[in-house]
Structure 1
Amino acid sequence: MLARKDAIRVKKRKVDLVVISDVHLGTFGCHAKELLLYLNSIKPKKLILNGDIVDIWQFRKRYFPKSHLEVIKKIIDLSAKGTEVTYITGNHDDLLRKFTDVEMGRISLVDKLVLELDGKKAWFFHGDVFDASIQNARWLAKLGGWGYDILILINRFVNWCLTRMHREKFSLSKKIKNGVKKAVKHIQDFEQVASDLAIENEYKYVVCGHIHQPQMVRKVNKFGTCLYLNSGDWVENLTSLEYHKGRWDLKHFNKEEYEPEVSEEQDFKEMQNLVAAITITSKNR
């Protein structure tokens, strides 16, 4: 199995705290295999799942691959071996908010979290409360989520073709976001509102997800300063946040570090599955 092989091959790094968000298990765009490789490489004291881990909005009975299930098993396995796991609910898994404050062993379910890290307060929450489209037009947000899922699938197919031609990959969604002033302003506003609230409440760190925009930046206003952090996602950016020995790091997954040799047959089979996924999705809509 992928998990067992890589657990043996990769030396586990000890980390005080790891934050991941926006995994979207149960969708075609989710990079579950890559996330599993990453989780197998670390030994965290605390693991914070900052929302949209399982995508209940886009969940399909016909699509929940073994690799997606392996991620859930790995998280449970980490908790069984001593890692404190906190699942913070997001908008795509908001049905879980009915069970807020439930604890199962070392796994707890919350809507937000405040921790003290080396004497500094850190505020963790998903971030959908700042998104007007989620609060006022849920149906529109769901439609946008489906369109994003299809866009990511097409992008992966395009990048597969580019790789075969030895050309550089690119992100369709990032190109669209960067080309639309409204989308850029939405991201900037999101960061500013989160940071201003953190400063107002005397939090030194504010840690979000939701907008699929990995970031670590110092924010300042007339009342003070805080470090704004966003863990990104495991759909296109493949990023996580790590806090160890008083320092934050934004980690970008690099597949070559985990499995330097990928056979042409494996690569082609994965691409066939993606094409089949696009076809299935189109027929079911």
Structure 2
Amino acid sequence: MEFLPIILVVILLVAVGGVVWAIGAYNGFIKQRNLIQESWRQVDVELNRRYELIPNLLETVRAFAAHERNTLEGIVRLRTQAQQLASTERGAVPSAQRAQLEEQLTSAVRGLMVSVEAYPELRSNQNFLELQRQLAETEDRIAAGRRYYNANVRNYNTRVESVPSSLIANSFKFEKATYFEVNEAEVRRAPEVNFGEISYRGDAPGAPAVGGGQQPGALPAPQPPQQVPYQAPAPQQQAQPAQPPFPQAQQPYQPPSYGSQATPPPSNEPYRPPNYDAQG
């Protein structure tokens, strides 16, 4: 009986902790859901601006490219359906049908911008160029807002499916949100890379001839290594000393000169002292 108060205190603490965690998890779901709605409103504003630009763009294209009537009619139909669905949802998180319509409209507008490249008069029209610039800026803002919205949806859906937060999500009917993605085949298709065929020079020794039964683009068959016959090394010759290019002439030895006066040759007469008496 003496352990009963301790057990009751532990149970009470666990219950209080569970309630506090449940309140925090519920508030976290509310915060993330509001963040998703706010991020979607930013995308919705840009989508409505695209709805306003499309009619002027279609009228300009129709004046120069009457052959694109089917493409123009398809864009008008998709724009009308998407705009009606947007007014029905009133800025709420988009449904799967709304996301699909916006994706089809994006693909149709891109196809139109590619097809008008065949009309030089239209590409030089100032009104069309201005509408094209505004539409490109709107598409860039839609793409940036879509990335931010999808990031918030990913965090929210992760909490909805994770344990134990999924218990709160199932209890209070927090359902998964819808992504706003682009599933267009032309956008997601990987680019084709062609490195070309391997070519050989006709003057290279041992190169296979082109068209000799080998399929185009196939790698060449490996060639066996050529065997070179053994050759004995040549005997080394003794190196000769290098001769100077200009031989120097040998000159006889000449003694150096110590002055401009020449030395008199020696005389064979005997030595005579000077006579000092004769001087007077």
- TM tier, smaller: under 0.3
**Which protein has the larger Cα radius of gyration, Structure 1 or Structure 2?**
2
Which of the pair is proportionally richer in helix?
2
Q: Which has the higher strand share?
A: 1
TM-score after normalising by structure 1 = 0.21
